[in-house]
A and B are shown apart, each in its own frame.
Chain A
Amino acid sequence: NAGVMQNPRHLVRRRGQEARLRCSPMKGHSHVYWYRQLPEEGLKFMVYLQKENIIDESGMPKERFSAEFPKEGPSILRIQQVVRGDSAAYFCASSPERAAETQYFGPGTRLLVL
């Protein structure tokens, strides 16, 4: 049973470009969460999605950031016009149900903005 998969594992972008981060949840999981980890910091919640629905995006910056989890395919976290401050590790987690106590994390995508 494959775990949570994220790609790419590393992504380098120049300022002003777009970054697209993908997350495939564990098989049977329909709840996806995105977190961001800045250097030397803990993870910070960004957004919670179910298939075709954004449930809670309270942790996501209002501008330039968007997330989706389509009916088919992986969840996508999209960052437009990246800036150096977006450099961080972005982790996706999944769970089989909303109230699940445990979230299963992917390996993360490390974004570096030059």
Chain B
Amino acid sequence: SQQGEEDPQALSIQEGENATMNCSYKTSINNLQWYRQNSGRGLVHLILIRSNEREKHSGRLRVTLDTSKKSSSLLITASRAADTASYFCATPGSGGSNYKLTFGKGTLLTVNP
């Protein structure tokens, strides 16, 4: 399996509910990033969490990182229909290849109005 795998693959919730997505990775990392991709569009950078951080907030987003379990979670609170998108975690390559981002297959989030 690949570095950076999200689960679930798909998640459907009602507006106002919280959405939690998880990401697992294999190798040591300096940071982990979450991106959003609306259908047929490019990627938008949401948040970056460094390896020495355990939790980070940005608006309605909360990201956690557990380096001992090599996993991260993205929580979107009070979801809105506009949050409907695919969400990807990405990890940088090691050493001198830190520019080489590795993405998982993503979680498709559908928020129903």
Contacts and interface: CB of A to CB of B under 8 A. Distances in A.
- The answer to whether A and B come from one shared complex is yes
Interface of A: 4, 31, 33, 35, 40-45, 48, 56, 58-59, 91, 95, 98-108, 110
Contacts of B90: 43
Interface residues on B, range: 20 to 34
Contacts of B98: 99
A31 B100 CA distance: 12
Nearest to A44: B103
Contact of A103 (B101, B104, B106): B101
A95 B43 contact: no
B45 interface: yes
A105 B42 CA distance: 6
Contacts of B4: 42
Nearest to A103: B101
A45 B41 contact: no
A98 B99 contact: yes
A42 B48 contact: no
